[in-house]
Amino acid sequence: MVTTWRDIGINYGGQHIGKGISRALKEVDKAVGKEAAAIQERPSTWITVIGTFAFPAAAMFLKLKDPWDKLFILIGGYISTGLWDIIEEAMVAGGGGGGAAYYPTYVAPAPAAPTATASAAEKVY
């Protein structure tokens, strides 16, 4: 098989559409005020998980014809890479079973109040 410009366009196009969807999901989180929420509370997490399976499944079950089937599979494949980000964040945040590292809070002692010192002439030996 020889790669054609059409094949390249489908591959690049699918990835760019997937990137656009991934980027839009971040904006959805901002719009609903869940940007700093826990991973499982963000809409982007659930849309990423669903999209990972929905796009390829749609290509199969809807019996999409070429090039739409490939395009849907590529979009789903790109969106699935977001699962790595979700897993990594869960592990770092302590939600992935490893638990977050505990760092006790250090409170520096207050500086001592200055005291008057006797001059050398006042010192008694």
Q: What is the pLDDT of residue 97?
A: 46
Q: Residue 119 has what pLDDT? A: 66
Q: Count of H helices and E strands in the chain?
A: 4, 0
Query: pLDDT by residue (tens digit) across 66-121?
Result: 999 999 999 999 999 999 999 998 888 665 444 455 566 777 778 877 776 666 66
The amino acid occupying position 58 is A
Say what the pTM is: 0.68
**Within 10 A of 8 (CB to CB), how many other CB atoms are there?**
10
Q: What is the pLDDT of residue 9?
A: 94
Mean per-residue pLDDT over the chain, rounded: 86
